[in-house]
Amino acid sequence: MKLFRSDRGQAMVLTLLTLTALLGIAALVLDVGSWFQAQRATQAAADAAALAGAQAVPDEGTATGLAVQYVNKNGGGAHTVTFSSKNVANDTVRVEVDREAPGFFAKVFGIKTVQVGASATAHVSGVEKAKWVAPITVNIKHPKLNCGSTGTPPRPVPCFGEPTQLDLLNLKSPNSSDGAGAFGLINLDRSDSGSVGSGTLAEWVTRGFDDYMDLGIYTSVPSAKFNDSKFKSALAFRTGDVLLFPIYTTLLGTGSNAEYDVVGWVGFRVTAYQATGSTGWVRGAFTEVIWEGVQSESGTGSNYGVRAIQLIE
C-alpha cells in the first residue's frame, strides 16, 4: 500500500515564519528611519543653539542661556555648553545635545529607546568682507565712531546706542569743517566704473549690495543723488532698520573724481533723514550687529562692532 504525505502543514509554518521575519524587518526599518529623523532633529537643535549662543559671546552666562533656550525650543534634551578661544577669549561655543528616541515596533524585540546625540560648534569673528552693504560711507573721524579704542593695534570703538547725526559731505570742498562728521554716497560695484543710477542706489538701500564687499578704494557718487525721490523712498522704507555702512579713512580727490578708502563697516539704525538741496543728514545710532560676511582669520578683522558667525563643526 502506497502512503502519500501532505506538505501543506509545513508550507504553512514556513510561510508564517517568513511573514513574521519580514514584518520584523519592516518594523525595524521603520524604527531605524524614525531614529535617523530624531538624530537629524537633534542636530538641528544643536546647530540652532550654538548659533544662538554665539551671538552673546564672550559673555558665558548670556550665551549659555541663549543656547539652552534654543535647545528647549527645539525639542529639549540633556545638553552641555562649553566655550573655547580660537582667536580671542571665548570666541567659540560648543553645544552637545542627547535625547532618547523611542522604539515602536522594536519594542517586540525588547528595544524601548535608543540614545541619539549631536554636537555643533559656532565661531564668532570680525569680518574681512561684508554682504548686503548700503551705499552710505562714514568718515572714520566721526565723533560718534570714537568713544574709545580696543585691540592691538588700537581700533576705534563707536558710541553704540547714542543718538547720532551723519551730515552729507560736500564733495566740492571735502576738507570743510564738517568733513570729519560727514557721510558720502559710494559706488559699491567695483566691476562697474560708470555712473550709478538712482534706482540702483535705492535698491542697495532697500536690500543691500548683493555681493561681498572688499576693503579698499571705491569711487564716489554725486551727493545730489541723496535728494533723488527713489533714494529717499528707500530710506523711508528702511527707517527703523539697521543698515551696514562702510567706513573710510581718506577721501582721495574731489567732485566726480573723488574716491573713498574703505577700512571697515559699522551698523547704523536709521531713525530719520532729511534731504534738502545740497544739504542733508541721516539720524540714528551706531549699533553692534551680527552680519553676513567672510570671517577674518585673525578674529578681529575690520571690526567696528560687526561680527559674523559660522558653524565650524
Question: What values do phi and psi take at 131, rounded to 5?
Answer: -110, 160
259 belongs to a structural domain: yes
Q: In the listed set 124, 151, 169, which residue is the last one of a domain according to the structure?
A: 124
Residue 106, pLDDT score: 56
- Grid coordinates in use for 152? 592691538
Residue 159 lies in a domain: yes
| The pLDDT of residue 150 | 73
Query: Looking at 124, 157, 182, which one is the last position of a domain?
Result: 124
**Pair 62, 143 in one domain:** no
> Residue 178: its pLDDT value, please?
46
With respect to residue 148, please indicate whether it lies within any of the assigned structural domains: yes
pLDDT band at 4; cut points 50, 70, 90: very low
Residue 299 placed within a domain: no
Whole-number pLDDT of residue 272: 97
Q: What is the pLDDT of residues 272-303, one digit of tens each?
A: 999 887 678 999 999 999 999 998 887 666 67
Question: Could you give the CA distance from residue 136 to residue 139 in angstroms, rounded to a whole number?
Answer: 10
Q: Looking at the domain assignment, is residue 309 inside a domain?
A: no
Give the pLDDT mean for 53-80: 93
Q: What is the mean pLDDT of residues 21-50?
A: 75
DSSP 190: T
Q: Which range (41-45, 194-198, 201-205, 276-280) has the least confidence?
A: 276-280
Average pLDDT over residues 18-30: 57
Strands 279-287 and 259-276: antiparallel
Q: Are residues 95 and 158 in the same domain?
A: no
- On the question of pLDDT at 208 being above 60, the answer is yes
- Higher pLDDT residue, 253 or 272? 272
Q: Residues 29, 165: one domain? A: no
What local confidence, expressed as pLDDT, does residue 156 receive? 78
DSSP 197: P
Is 29 within the bounds of a domain?
Answer: yes
273 shares a domain with 152: yes
Q: Please answer whether residues 109 and 24 qualify as being in contact, where contact means their C-beta atoms are separated by less than 8 angstroms.
A: yes
> Does residue 177 carry a pLDDT above 60?
no
Give the separation between CA 273 and CA 268, rounded to whole angstroms: 13
* 151 conformational bin, left if phi > 0, alpha if psi -120 to 50, beta if neither: left
194 with 58, same domain: the answer is: no
Higher pLDDT, 148 or 69: 69
Q: Is the pLDDT of residue 17 over 80?
A: no
Banded model confidence at residue 254, pLDDT cuts 50, 70, 90: confident
Domain identity same for 147 and 275: yes
113 lies in some domain:
yes
The answer to whether position 81 is within a domain reads: yes
Claim to verify: residue 143 and residue 284 sit in the same structural domain:
yes
82-137: pLDDT as tens digits: 999 988 888 999 999 998 877 665 555 566 677 888 999 999 998 999 999 999 99
- Indicate if the pLDDT at residue 176 is higher than 50: no
20-42: average pLDDT: 68
Q: Do 71 and 189 fall within a single domain?
A: no
Does residue 222 share a domain with residue 271?
Answer: yes
Q: Which three cell numbers stand for residue 136?
A: 552710505
- Is a pLDDT exceeding 60 seen at residue 22? no
pTM for the whole structure:
0.80
DSSP state of 41: H
C-alpha cell at 204: 542697495
pLDDT, residue 28, reads 60
| Residue 97 shares a structural domain with residue 212 | no
The answer to whether the beta carbons of residues 92 and 84 sit under 8 Å apart is: yes
Res 140 pLDDT > 60: yes
Per DSSP, the three-state class of 153 is: coil
Q: How many domains does the chain have?
A: 2
Residue 23: the pLDDT is 56
Say whether 230 sits in a helix, a strand or coil.
helix
Three-state DSSP state, 256? helix
Gap between the Cα atoms of 292 and 129, Å rounded: 9
Last residue of a domain, one of 124, 157, 179: 124
The arithmetic mean of pLDDT across residues 182-189, rounded, is 91
Are residues 270 and 148 located together in one domain of the fold? Answer: yes
Q: Give the range of the structural domain holding residue 243, as residue numbers without chain letter.
A: 132-290
Q: Looking at the structure, tell me whether residues 145 and 246 fall in a common domain.
A: yes
